[in-house]
């Protein structure tokens, strides 16, 4: 699925979800549409098909390191919450999603080893979420 179609589908889903759920938080688990908008490693980590694909699981574990891969789903959920915040219709939802993203990035920064290849990216994304949280 190309990026435009993925973003259009996500925007449609987000709008519909906001109309149905209002200010109530969305489910923690990522929807198939949300998963499709995430990086390939997150698709492997979060999708049902990806979790069953042992070859992909082994490849990403070897590429990122076993301890990084073990906790990688929290990084993916942080990205998911950042995406949800971008499309949030009201301020309360946006703040909730950004706060949730910060929590996920905090988790991986504590759990991942200092030499994790994604550590600096998680730090940058946490900072970005904190900055967006301070923006009205």
Cβ neighbours around 17 below 10 Å, total = 18
Write the pLDDT tens digit of every residue in 17-69.
Answer: 444 445 556 789 999 999 999 999 999 999 999 999 999 999 999 999 999 99
Measured from the Cβ of residue 67, the count of other Cβ atoms closer than 10 Å reads 14
Write down the residue that tokens 């574990």 correspond to: 61
Please, what is the average pLDDT of the chain? 88
Q: What is the pLDDT of residues 57-88, one digit of tens each?
A: 999 999 999 999 999 999 999 999 999 999 99
pLDDT of residue 104: 98
Nearest Cα to Cα of residue 11 among 40, 38, 34: 34
**What's the domain count of the chain?**
1
Residues spanned by the domain of 129: 3-134
4, pLDDT greater than 70: no
Q: Say what the pTM is.
A: 0.82
Contact 74, 45 (CB under 8 A): no
């Amino acid at each position: 699925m190309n990026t435009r179609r993925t973003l259009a589908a996500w925007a449609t889903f987000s709008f519909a979800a906001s109309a149905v759920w209002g200010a109530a938080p969305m489910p923690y688990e990522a929807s198939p549409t949300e998963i499709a908008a995430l990086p390939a490693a997150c698709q492997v980590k979060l999708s049902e098909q990806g979790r069953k694909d042992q070859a992909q699981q082994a490849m990403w574990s070897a590429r990122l390191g076993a301890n990084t891969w073990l906790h990688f789903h929290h990084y993916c959920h942080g990205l998911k919450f950042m995406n949800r915040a971008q499309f949030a219709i009201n301020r309360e939802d946006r703040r909730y999603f950004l706060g949730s993203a910060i929590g996920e990035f905090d988790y991986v920064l504590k759990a991942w080893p200092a030499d994790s290849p994604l550590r600096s990216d998680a730090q940058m994304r946490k900072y970005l979420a904190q900055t967006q949280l301070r923006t009205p």
